[in-house]
Amino acid sequence: MKGIFVPLVTPFDADGSVALGALSALARDVLDEGAAGLVALGTTGEPATLSEAERAAVVDVCRDACARHGVPLLVGVGGSSTAGTVAAVREIRGDVAMVVVPPYTRPGAAGVLAHLRAVAAGSPVPVVVYHVPYRTGQPLDVTSLLEIAAIPGVVGMKLSDGAVSGDTVAFLGGLPAGFSVLGGDDAVIAPLLAIGAAGGILASAHVATGAFVALAEAWRDGDVGRGRRLGTALAAVSAALFAEPNPAVIKAVLHATGRIPTPDVRLPLLPASAAATSAALRALDRVTAAATTG
């Protein structure tokens, strides 16, 4: 579990159906540019708005693409019910289950740990925990995070808890062998990589995939100058892509660059504004110079 993973959007055709051909092309493109794997049915894929049949079709497309490239497919699962999450992971059709900390119920750290132990024990595949307190409403301290990292069957964490802090440094400094932290807050992926993250699960890597891959490689190889240049440029791209609720701006940029048939999202999300789309395209243009320098 290292490198840059892309949590794919779900593109829609003009009639509102899932554009499976465009999804397949996106998967192929980001993997060809060096992505280490894909995430199906992450938040960026709008899974809550998809039917059961649509979710299954999305997983099938992503699984086929990953199999052709010999890379892992992570599938997003989870919810507020432990029994429901265990049932979901038992039916998973990916290589890794990305399991969100139970949202809404706020069970406390002890409840989160009990939930994840039950899920990992019932999962036929390795588990990556998705810790995103601004969505789940459940913060966790360093001790709790390290206890999660010690659960058998849990091999990594998508860490999306905001700015890099002293707690982040302490967590990354105390990881058990074989456990990977993957940054999930796109704008701060560079400092996370600099202090030891193994990679990232980054919606922004739909665009400039190769530059995000190069960023991870720069920090892995100790090329500090290149890491800083790329990190600065890509942080601006990420900020622009997340200026409005995700994945609206990402979809607008993908549509503007001819990679998906429409920029459409499903309610309750609304399409990106023209101003946000233009700003993101300008930020993307500036990445090219940084990616080709040094």
Q: Is 201 annotated as a binding residue?
A: yes
Q: How far apart are CA 218 and CA 40, in angstroms?
A: 27
**Residue of 2, 104, 134, 158 marked active site:** 158
d(CA 120, CA 113): 10
Q: Measured at the alpha carbon of residue 64, what is the angle toward residues 102 and 35, in degrees to the nearest 5?
A: 70
Tell me if residue 16 falls in helix, strand or coil.
coil
Active site includes 158?
A: yes
C-alpha distances in Å from residue 184, one per residue of 4, 64, 130, 145:
10, 24, 9, 15
DSSP E strands in 235-283: the ranges are none
Residue with tokens 């549509």: 255
Query: How far is residue 38 from each of residues 156, 226, 253, measured CA to CA in Å?
Result: 15, 25, 19
User: Terminus-to-terminus CA distance in the chain, angstroms?
Assistant: 27
C-alpha distances (whole Å) from 46 to each of 69, 83, 85, 207, 208 are: 25, 23, 18, 18, 22
Residues in a beta bridge with 183: 159, 200
Ranges of beta strands (E only) in the chain are 3-7, 37-40, 73-77, 96-100, 127-131, 154-159, 180-183, 199-201
Q: Which residue has the tokens 């659960």?
A: 151
Residues paired with 180 in a beta bridge: 156
**Residues 6+ away with beta carbon under 8 Å from 292:** none
CA distance 272 to 69: 32
Annotated binding-site residue numbers for pyruvate: 44, 201
Kindly list the catalytic residues: 130, 158
